Amino acid sequence: MSDTASEVQTHTIRLELVDEPGELLRALEPISEAGGNLMSIHHERGNVTPRGHIPVEVDVSCVPDRFERIVDSLREAGVNVIQAGAERYDEELVVLLVGHLVETDLSDTLQQVESCANASLTDLSLSAPRGNDESSSARVRLKTKSGTTEEALATLRDIAAEKDLHVIEPLTGDQP
């Protein structure tokens, strides 16, 4: 198979790295060696995953067969690959969640949002001015597949209802 421009796709790889010097470079080397064209890196050093690691999102451009080699070489190098797949998210959605976010396990809430087939969490800002036991709020930024914003909102509403959280939604559709 040739690497023609019509076959090249952008793929997103989500990694989980230990917060130690050289870990990001160690994760990028297999991508380069397998022929991936690095498009962007989102290194969230200020955040940690539930396991205490640093989440990193890497976008690479390559043909699908090469992408499989990239993911395999990352795993062979001992890099923790959380998710790998073609980037298909092209709409953005920002909502506010209000309630006992910390008390109802914010990590679980975020994992449930991430598991939505048509949405990807891209940013979260949490405000808990009175500590963990009081009501807090979070601004959640999601990327959704084209035409699936309402489905993503419905999933978010279900998660919020289960945890007695309030969702403040953006205006959607044709607004005057």
Angle (deg, nearest 10), helices 106-114 and 149-162: 150
Integer Cα distance of 158 and 25 in angstroms:
39
CATH number at residue 131: 3.30.70.260
pTM: 0.52
Please provide residue 59's backbone torsions phi and psi, each rounded to the nearest 5 degrees.
-105, 130
**Residue 173, domain member (yes or no):** no
Based on the domain organization, do 75 and 10 belong to the same domain? yes
Please provide residue 55's backbone torsions phi and psi, each rounded to the nearest 5 degrees.
-80, 135
Integer Cα distance of 103 and 94 in angstroms:
22
**Residue 174, domain member (yes or no):** no
Q: Average pLDDT of each block of 10 consecutive residues along the chain (176 residues)?
A: 62 88 92 90 78 86 87 89 68 88 83 70 79 82 78 88 92 48
pLDDT for the residue numbered 171: 59
**Residue 99, domain member (yes or no):** yes
Based on the domain organization, do 74 and 139 belong to the same domain? no
Q: Which domain holds residue 113?
A: 91-168
Into how many domains does the chain fold? 2
